[in-house]
Amino acid sequence: MTTASHPVETSYWVIVPAAGTGKRMGADKPKQYLSLAGKPLIQHTLENILGWPGLTGIVVAIAADDQEFSTLVAARDPRVHTVTGGTERADSVLAALDYLSELATPETSVLVHDAARPLVHKSDIESLVVASPTALLAQPASDTVKQSREESGKPVVRQTLPRQQIWLAQTPQKAPLQMLREALQAGLAQNPQAITDEASALELAGYAPELVPACRSNFKVTHPADLVLAEVLLQHRQTLEQLQSGTEQ
Kindly write out the interface string for residues 168-207 of this chain, putting x where it contacts ligand C5P by CB under 6 A and - elsewhere.
----------------------------------------
Q: What is the 3-state secondary structure (H, E, C) of 157-194?
A: EEEEECHHHCEEEEEEEEEEHHHHHHHHHHHHHHCHHH
Q: What is the greatest pairwise CA distance in the chain?
A: 65
**Cβ atoms of residues 104 and 34 within 8 Å:** no
Which amino acid makes up residue 33?
Answer: Y
Least distance from C-beta 132 to ligand C5P, angstroms? 24
Residue number, nearest CB to ligand C5P: 20
Q: Interior CA angle at 201 toward 131 and 211, to 5°?
A: 30
Q: Which is nearer to ligand C5P, 18 or 119 (CB)?
A: 18
The CB-of-162 to ligand C5P minimum distance in angstroms stands at: 27
Give whichever of 84 and 101 is closer to ligand C5P, judged by the CB atom: 84
Residue 17 contacts residue 93 (beta carbons within 8 Å): yes
20 binds ligand C5P (CB under 6 A): yes
Are 72 and 16 in contact by the 8 Å Cβ rule? The answer is: no
Which of 50, 132 has the CB closer to ligand C5P? 50
Site string for ligand C5P, 105-144 (x = CB under 6 A): ---------xxx----------------------------
Give the Cα separation of 209 and 167 in Å (integer). 12
Interacting residue with ligand C5P among 12, 32, 36, 57 (CB under 6 A)? 32
From residue 58 to residue 97, what is the string marking binding to ligand C5P with x (rule CB under 6 A)?
Answer: ---x-----------------------xxxxx--x-----
∠ CA(240), CA(245), CA(246), 5° rounding? 95
Within 10 angstroms of residue 133's Cβ, the number of other Cβ atoms is 14
When asked if residue 17 is in the footprint of ligand C5P (CB under 6 A), the reply is: yes
Binding of residue 44 to ligand C5P (CB under 6 A): no
Q: Judged by CB, which is closer to ligand C5P: 118, or 209?
A: 118
Tell me how far apart the alpha carbons of residues 246 and 82 are, in angstroms, rounded to a whole number.
37
Residues in touch with ligand C5P (CB under 6 A): 17-20, 22, 32, 61, 85-89, 92, 114-116, 220, 222
